[in-house]
Structure 1
Amino acid sequence: MFDTFHASAPEPPSGGAAGVLSARNLESWADGLSSTIEGVSDLDDAERIDAVRALERLACVVTAAQARLASDLDASQRAEQEAAGVPVARRGRGVVEQVALARRESPHRGRQHLGLAKIVPSELPHTWTAWRTGRITEWKATIVARETACLTLEDRLTVDQIVAGSPDGAQSIESIGERELAGACLKEVARLDAAALVVRRRRAESERRVTLRPAPDTMTYLTALLPVKDGVAVLAALTRAADSARAAGDERGKGQVMADTLVAQVFSAADGDVSAPQVSLGLIMSDTALFGGSDDPAQLEGFGPIPAELAREVMTDACDRDEAIWLRRLYTSPTTGELVSMDATGRFFRGSLARFIRLRDQVCRTPWCDAPVRHVDHLQTHADGGSTSARNGQGLCESCNYAKDAPRWRARPQPDGSIAVTLPTGHQHRTRPPPLVTIRKHHVPALRVDYVLVV
């Protein structure tokens, strides 16, 4: 039935891997498939279901092909770097970032993809067969690889045979759900090497942490990765507090009480500790928005844009609590709206310059990375004549900063304020910091005070 769906699309190219996986042929086939999408209204419902299933299989095969290409790229780049005399510890640097840029995703996701691509074909052959034939998704392959990571190769092959070796039946890897697959792997791991599970658990507990990421409607997700006993205990305590408050007539919802109790407990603990560190919020807002003359969105350092009303509320609350407030003028470009300069009144120029670059770039300058800025570094090194200036500086995450040290990886500032990054393969990507100002069509001076940094 799927034949009806793609009757007008070109057949997938043939001629071996070089023909099938050449970028030109794949782009041509993707264009042909794309042009048929608007014609799916001619299908009946049974054909639509069959087409959805066939496309899902195609999507699985595509991710497997991407994995094989990424693995081959890694091997090729490592061999090239070895021939160039790169030390063993530095070989492979920059490959993750190249894969991520090709997939239009963050280096973190690229690292996960490349790691999976290198492990599954060699250490999980049955899982690889199921993946490359389109029977399972990339995520299912990830589950098997993740749950067996603590095993020896021999035991890993055994688990792979048990959970993925049977293509048919009610308990085949294709027919069970993701949670069931994880449970099946865990069961076999415990049977083969219980001690490995203990080591894995202790390592996981050592990686406990708290993270923050943006949520819709100017909210945030505050996530705590905790040992199971601590996580269950915290949730139980918050639940008891919410149930007690609701029983006493509190009109807030259960979730609201739990969230408010968590915040109150953290703040009360900090207030009772004289050594608790002071918290600094980097709030960037226009001078007119600060004083109520406009509703231009503000920028909260480490989070992103927030409404002007919320920014003024943060300021008002700080004033009500007699907190220290520092103001620093920021200057923007009248053509792009990007930050271009700031008051150089800081005590240390290097510290002020680094802070400015973090404020300007907001997140890692690598396209699609979105990671927080951890390193402020030169685009063009001192050895190559680069200056220590805002124009020659960029904010990067730790991974991307190390990646640019790979052989034939080059980044240079451009006259228009952008950064041109050239990869070892010759591919080039351009990036520029996000604008803070919406440019309106009227006369503006060459440089003006547009924003104020509130610390």
Structure 2
Amino acid sequence: MTRSLAARQARLTAHLDDLQPDASDRSVGAQVALARHESPHRGGRLLSLACTLVDDLPHVLAALDDGLINEHRAEILSTEADHVHSALRPDYDTALGELLATSAPLGDRALRLAAQRIAMRLDDHAATRRRERAHRNRHLTSWRRDDGTTQITAIVSDVHASAIMQSLHQRAAQLKTQPDEDRSTAQIVADLFVSRLTGQTTATASPVAINLVMSAETLLGDGDEPAEVVPMYGGAGGPIPASVARKLVTCAPEMGTRIRRLFADTDQLVAMESTSRTFDGLLRQFITLRDRTCRTPWCNAAIAQHDHITPDQAGGPTSTPNGQGLCTACNQLKEEPGWHHRVLHHYDLDPHHVEITSPAGQTAHSRAPDPPGRIPPEPTWVEQSPGHWVLSA
């Protein structure tokens, strides 16, 4: 039943795209995201999935409707179709239909590899271009985990990846034979990764700059409210224990660690303004620390751009009430026809609060996260109609 509903949902999503022929894929995808409580990026993926299934992969859509695959596996097959020439997609779809009808049940990875083999047989040239394009898009990202560690992901060629891992593991095997070595092989590999990138034995010897959002009570040792770390180079921050925050603030000077502390003033953070047309300097840093991640609901991407909620050309000031942190995609979405942002509250008794309206009339609310130490207010219920109560915005 769930899989059949996913197929119906795909058809409805594709129909929504047909109803707005002049709207961009970004705009329609964001509307799908609002309806499904997903990030705009995920909404775009769901729109692409729906259109590909309906327009190019009827056999795969039928398999989803019949319960042979779930939505996630339909997305795997749809993603691989993006790398097949449009004229060859009917052959790709037919081959997938035969595979799903006759093969033993396949896991996600096995299904992806089978789809890739079919795509490569049909369009070797496209597969080669895909590989070349992926190599050009090599990059490095980091993402904070929930346990005080960070995951660093490097997108490099498969050849380079093999060389990197072989080099690290060969050296780790040599160190592991030393009689006083008590680290596991995995720990040695991770430590070698850090030392080779920083040029030092431990990362703590490298100067670092940390944005630390904390309450005065936490700093002075009278409170246990966790502090917040906001990364300098992308990625998402998160809470750290109060005791760890105090140790960071009082770390030894020889470590070269610079801490930028941001405190709560009464219930909210201190405001800042600028006469500049752009958000820069301390004002830019302040908005980053206040918002932490992209302000679009359910997005959570790292802040890449600082946006005038009321546009500069419409007289919007460069100030904290009129500023918000957005990722690049959400900032571009805001400029699409039919999308409107407006400030509802700013540092009165409520946190910075923005209302977002889509071309279809959907509304969503974006509130800046509370600073550490602030106790959230009790929810207020309002009776909209007899017997029907809703939470007040």
- The share of aligned pairs that are identical, in percent, is 35
Query: What's the TM-score once normalised by structure 1's chain length?
Result: 0.72
Equivalent position SS for 2:373: coil
Name the structure 2 match of 1:46: none
Find the aligned partners of 2:194 and 2:327 in 1 and give their Cα distance: 29
Contact 1:299–1:305 (Cα < 8 Å) also in 2: yes
Paired letter, 1:64: A
Alignment of 1:427 with 2:362, yes or no, is yes
2:195 to 246, 250, 264: 264
- Select between 244-253 and 360-369 the one with higher mean Cα deviation: 244-253
Contact 1:78–1:92 (Cα < 8 Å) also in 2: no
Name the structure 1 match of 2:223: 294
Alignment of 1:361 with 2:291, yes or no, is yes
Query: What's the TM-score once normalised by structure 2's chain length?
Result: 0.83
Name the structure 2 match of 1:274: none
Rate the CA distance shift 1:385–1:195 in 2: closer, same or farther, 3 A. Answer: closer
Name the structure 2 match of 1:107: 40
1:230 to 160, 173, 178: 160
Equivalent position SS for 1:305: strand
Name the structure 1 match of 2:247: 313
Find the aligned partners of 2:127 and 2:273 in 1 and give their Cα distance: 55
Rate the CA distance shift 1:387–1:143 in 2: closer, same or farther, 3 A. Answer: same
Paired letter, 2:49: L
- Select between 157-166 and 353-362 the one with higher mean Cα deviation: 157-166
Name the structure 2 match of 1:30: none
Query: 1:328 offset after TM fit, Å?
Result: 5.8
Paired letter, 2:353: S
Name the structure 2 match of 1:121: 54
Alignment of 1:141 with 2:70, yes or no, is no
Unaligned runs of 5+ in 1: 1-57, 82-90, 272-276, 442-455
Moved over 6 A (4+): none
Find the aligned partners of 2:368 and 2:169 in 1 and give their Cα distance: 43
- Select between 213-222 and 389-398 the one with higher mean Cα deviation: 213-222
Contact 1:331–1:342 (Cα < 8 Å) also in 2: no
Find the aligned partners of 2:146 and 2:344 in 1 and give their Cα distance: 34
Alignment of 1:351 with 2:264, yes or no, is no
RMSD after superposition: 2.8
Unaligned runs of 5+ in 2: 232-236, 377-393
Q: Which structure's residues are more often helix, by fraction?
A: 1
Rate the CA distance shift 1:316–1:265 in 2: closer, same or farther, 3 A. Answer: farther
Query: 1:362 offset after TM fit, Å?
Result: 0.5
2:171 to 232, 236, 241: 241
Name the structure 1 match of 2:10: 67
Q: Which structure is larger by alpha-carbon Rg, 1 or 2?
A: 1
Rate the CA distance shift 1:285–1:329 in 2: closer, same or farther, 3 A. Answer: closer
Query: 1:320 offset after TM fit, Å?
Result: 2.6
Find the aligned partners of 1:349 and 1:131 in 2 and give their Cα distance: 48
Equivalent position SS for 2:161: helix
Query: 1:330 offset after TM fit, Å?
Result: 3.9
1:253 to 161, 164, 184: 184
Contact 1:285–1:299 (Cα < 8 Å) also in 2: yes
Rate the CA distance shift 1:329–1:100 in 2: closer, same or farther, 3 A. Answer: closer
- Select between 61-70 and 215-224 the one with higher mean Cα deviation: 61-70
Equivalent position SS for 2:299: coil
Rate the CA distance shift 1:379–1:63 in 2: closer, same or farther, 3 A. Answer: same
Paired letter, 1:290: L
